[in-house]
Amino acid sequence: MNFGDNILIICTYQELMKQYRKILKEHHLNIDIEVMDNRYGKDMSKIFEYVAQFQKKGKEVIITRGFLAQQIGAHLPFKVIEIHIGAADMFRALYPLAGKGYTVGVVESEPYVKVAKQVAEILNISLNIYLVENVEDFEKGLLAAKRDGVDVVVGGAWHSYEEVFFQDYGIPYVVVESSVESIENSLQNALEMYTFSYEQQKKNELLEKILSFSEDGICVLDESGHPVLMNTYGEQILKEKEENQIEDFFAEIQRQMLSERDGHSDTLVEKIGDEYFLIQKIPLEVYGDSAGTIVIFKREMKIRDDEYLLRMKLSKKGMHAKYTLQDILGKSKIIRELKKRVERYATTDATVLILGESGTGKELFAQAIHNCSLRRNRPFVAINCSALPPQLLESELFGYVDGAFTGAKKEGKAGLFEMAHTGTLFLDEIGEMDLSMQTRLLRVLQEREIMRIGDNKVISVDVRVIVATNRDLYQEVLRGGVREDLYYRLNILDITIPPLRERKEDIGIIASGLLPQINERMHTHVSSLEEDVLKRMQTFAWRGNIRELRNTLEKMVLNVQYGTIKMEDVAFIFEEMERKSHSAKSAGGLREVCTLAEMEKKMIQQALQEEEGNQTKAAIRLGIDRSTLYRKISKML
């Protein structure tokens, strides 16, 4: 579709048509023009019937002016671009009447009246206003103007519709004609509308293509849970269901998701027909208000196939750990001590528990332990235990055999324990693992044997296990979320990574170490940070730790591009950070920070106080050995 094909210009008088044709010719534009003139007088029903026929001819946009533009926009399904009456247009109409003592009547709609008042005040012309809201108001207004002794009436093109009236009553009528500027503005508005409509249509067609080629079933529900959009694969999945059954099906899905994990689950494994699907829901929001839900159906077998291909590619790359001890940046006392501990722990195959807040670099430490160990040339396999529902996590860790469940691969699949054989398996977010999975994991740690899902034989594995969490696992034990026997099996060797706010002297070293990486990825050339910038950075709490520091550095680098990051270039970034911090405090969202180490220290101090300093009784109260308590107390001193 070319610009102008779906546009119709309706001129309310002959002179307007001539102006449009001249301007269209100058701009080499081809747009159809119709002259309404006095074809149907003021019979709006016939006018609407006449204009409506152009919809069948592919017209979607009408360009016209004044009262007619407002009426078409209100009663017909066209996009209407009004030829606005500007102050210059009104000035040209009223200027000849200035200084002659005329009483001028304006019988028109609100837009005309507003402009007329402004110009009349400048020209010191007395106006009588007769506001028009519907077609009958024109004749009423003209009669009132005649009765009030108005000398001349100013308005749109109603002299052509009311020719007999003006002849009978002898009222002079001045037409406010549209200027070249007003006409060109209307065409510019039409061009912008065309461009926007074209781009929107292109996006819609692209979205339809994407949805049709997606190998996932996608369905959009409105706020009432009624399906309003579904791609081809989604229709195939639900083809067996009637329309009322589909609504009941989605309602049941929503109910099950709300019932799981205290209403916080957004995934569900459901059998539809002969296959299992991982169902995800994503809330839709528009300007912060709920607008419905997107439901995605992922075929379990397809997920497994994709994961298998990914594992094969990773396996070809060696599934190796890329970070070493040298990548742990910092020279603070606590970091130097942790590096020494990493080297000591790397000499054994005992399980390591890494504790630390989100963003402190727990996987970095896990990879460093692996690369310091004798297993450094063996696989390093990592998985986030919170990223998958329990059913998929189980098959991911332990694998399955042919026929274990519907959709299982004919040849079966090895689990991550098998893939990490002779190497290291890193289990991140271990505190998110459900109790049934914890039982299976405990057996593997004890026996070093796994059993695939659906199998009846065990497979021996030689795997060093490293786990990490940002939770207080001992509190999870007391709460019942973590098995106590698993906790002691995991907590053989432990590393607590301090948050960035507790080692602010390392911020400069970390920032300098991150800059080359950021430059390489963003194709920038920033060499260093000004001292004032570094000092300012050291004043923040960095609740997101190194991850937040990296994000902030990336923003600084993008704003500076090359050379040194100076305070005047990034002051606004610090101001934004301070505003967010103040907002969080005022909302009560910034609670007092308490690290895992601090929490453990408080618990030990409380137990000792309650047992009047008796370490044996305090150890029993805490559920740990007396030697372990003694070691922890030594660290506190």
Alpha carbon distance 105, 102 (integer Å): 9
What interhelical angle do 390-398 and 435-447 show, nearest 10? 10
Q: Flag the least confident range among 385-389, 441-445, 508-512, 549-553.
A: 385-389
Q: In sequence order, what DSSP letters do the residues of 295-313 get, joined into one string?
A: EEEEEHHHHHHHHHHHHHH
Residue 383, both tokens:
């998985």
Coil, helix or strand for 446? helix
The mean per-residue pLDDT over the stretch 69-77 comes to: 88
Q: Please give the CATH number for the structural domain made up of 500-586.
A: 1.10.8.60
Going by the DSSP 8-state scheme, the letter that residue 453 receives in this structure is B
Phi, psi of 528 (to 5 degrees): -165, 175
Predicted local distance difference test score (pLDDT) of residue 593:
46
Closest CA to 275 of 212, 217, 210: 217
Locate the domains of the chain by residue range. Answer: 7-85+181-193, 87-177, 214-299, 318-496, 500-586, 596-636
Predicted local distance difference test score (pLDDT) of residue 394:
87
Coil, helix or strand for 141? helix
Q: Which residues pair with 414 in a beta bridge?
A: 399
Q: Please give the CATH number for the structural domain made up of 596-636.
A: 1.10.10
The answer to whether 75 and 123 are in contact (CB under 8 A) is: no
214-299: CATH topology is Beta-Lactamase (3.30.450)
CATH architecture for segment(s) 318-496: 3-Layer(aba) Sandwich (3.40)
Angstrom CA distances, 498 to 136, 472, 549, stand at 80, 14, 15
pLDDT over threshold 90, residue 460: no
Q: Which helix (H) or strand (E) holds 620?
A: helix 615-622
Predicted local distance difference test score (pLDDT) of residue 468:
94
Mode of pairing for the β-strands spanning 7-11 and 32-35: parallel
Amino acid sitting at position 635? K
The CATH class of the 7-85+181-193 domain is alpha beta
- Interval 346-357: pLDDT, tens: 999 999 999 999
> Which residue in the block uniquely carries the two structure tokens 């799981």?
260
The answer to whether the 500-586 and 596-636 domains have the same CATH topology is no
Predicted local distance difference test score (pLDDT) of residue 589:
45
Alpha carbon distance 67, 135 (integer Å): 9
Task: Using pLDDT thresholds of 50, 70 and 90, give the confidence band for residue 590.
Answer: very low
Q: In sequence order, what DSSP letters do the residues of 276-288 get, joined into one string?
A: EEEEEEEEEEETT
The mean per-residue pLDDT over the stretch 273-289 comes to: 82
Q: Flag the least confident range among 241-245, 452-456, 529-533, 614-618.
A: 241-245
The answer to whether 465 and 505 are in contact (CB under 8 A) is: no
pLDDT over threshold 60, residue 273: yes
The mean per-residue pLDDT over the stretch 49-68 comes to: 88
The CATH class of the 87-177 domain is alpha beta
Task: Using pLDDT thresholds of 50, 70 and 90, give the confidence band for residue 206.
Answer: confident
> Which residue in the block uniquely carries the two structure tokens 């009456």?
85
Angstrom CA distances, 215 to 20, 234, 292, 306, stand at 52, 9, 22, 12
Alpha carbon distance 391, 297 (integer Å): 16
